[in-house]
Amino acid sequence: MSNSQDYEKQRRNAYGESPHASRKNIPRNKRRRNRALRRTNKHLIGQACDDDFNAIAMLSKRKYRFRKYPDRPLGEVFVRDVICEYLAGRYSSDTFLRKVERLRRNYRGFHRALQDTLSWRWNRLTEEQLEVLSTYTKYDNE
pLDDT digits (tens, 9 = 90+) for 62-84: 666 777 778 889 999 999 999 98
The pLDDT score that the predictor gives to residue 115 is 87
Confidence check: pLDDT of 51 > 60: no
Three-state SS at 72: strand
d(CA 83, CA 119): 12
Q: Are 83 and 97 in contact (CB under 8 A)?
A: no
Single pTM value for the model? 0.66
